[in-house]
């Protein structure tokens, strides 16, 4: 599309130069209407033309690449440095009682999670949850087996580089069963 504009502009300039280079003559017809011509005729007068108005186009730049367009469309996000990340629940060396193996993890992060970052929750080194929402401060981990576990939270950027991580928290998961000592024993009837 731009090539057509360029060609039209070049042709317009060529035609304008051709018109300016010629001498123009004016005559009047029988009714007094002016008639202009580039050839002199009987009774024609030479017309003094005003200087042609010109315009210098601004320099053009190459079209923006898709990466440059993305940079222009998205304002640069100022990343703040995280100052603290702490797991507040479960408590260190604490015991969590949960028959289905659900562990509530509460954490505090300052400043809140920023755009293009995510928070990973690791259990025994494996990522069990990823949080993208800046307002989330708790998460329920499901399917955790009974026993001792180490919990860790970390904020990573788009390249999965760790920006900040919490101190590891060791906790114990216990499952409530029918044979749990906290339940009262059901008396068994004696049959004779």
Neighbours of 67 (CB within 10 A): 8
Q: What is the pLDDT of residues 38-65, one digit of tens each?
A: 888 888 888 887 777 777 878 877 776 6
d(CA 78, CA 115): 10
DSSP state letter for 86: E
The correct answer on CATH 3.40.640.10 for the domain covering 84-174 is: no
The pair of structure tokens assigned to 184 is 């009262």
pTM: 0.52
Q: What percent of the chain has pLDDT over 70?
A: 77
> For the chain, what are the domain ranges?
2-53, 84-174
Average pLDDT of the segment spanning 73-83: 69
Q: What is the pLDDT of residues 126-145, one digit of tens each?
A: 999 888 887 888 889 898 89
d(CA 82, CA 122): 19
Q: How far is CA 10 from CA 5, 13, 19, 21, 63, in A?
A: 9, 5, 14, 17, 21
Q: What is the pLDDT of residues 8-17, one digit of tens each?
A: 777 666 666 5
Question: What is the pLDDT at residue 133?
Answer: 84
Average pLDDT of the segment spanning 163-182: 82
Question: What is the pLDDT at residue 64?
Answer: 67
Examine the pLDDT at 185 and tell me if it is beyond 80: no
DSSP state letter for 15: H
């Amino acid at each position: 599309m731009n090539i057509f504009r360029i060609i039209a502009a070049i042709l317009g300039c060529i035609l304008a130069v051709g018109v300016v280079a010629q001498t123009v003559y004016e005559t009047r017809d029988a009714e007094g209407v002016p008639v202009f011509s580039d050839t002199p005729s009987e009774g024609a007068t030479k017309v003094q033309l005003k200087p042609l108005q010109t315009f210098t186009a601004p320099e053009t730049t190459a079209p923006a690449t898709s990466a440059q367009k993305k940079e222009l469309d998205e304002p640069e996000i100022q990343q703040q440095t995280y100052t603290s990340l702490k797991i507040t629940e479960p408590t260190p060396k604490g015991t969590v009682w949960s028959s289905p193996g659900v562990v509530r993890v509460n954490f505090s992060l300052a400043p809140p999670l920023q755009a293009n970052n995510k928070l990973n929750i690791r259990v025994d080194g494996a990522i069990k949850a990823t949080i993208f929402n800046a307002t989330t401060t708790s998460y329920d981990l499901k399917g955790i087996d009974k026993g001792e576990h180490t919990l860790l939270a970390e904020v990573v950027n788009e390249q999965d580089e760790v920006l900040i991580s919490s101190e590891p928290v060791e906790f114990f998961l216990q499952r409530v069963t029918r044979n749990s000592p906290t339940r009262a024993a059901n008396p068994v009837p004696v049959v004779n």
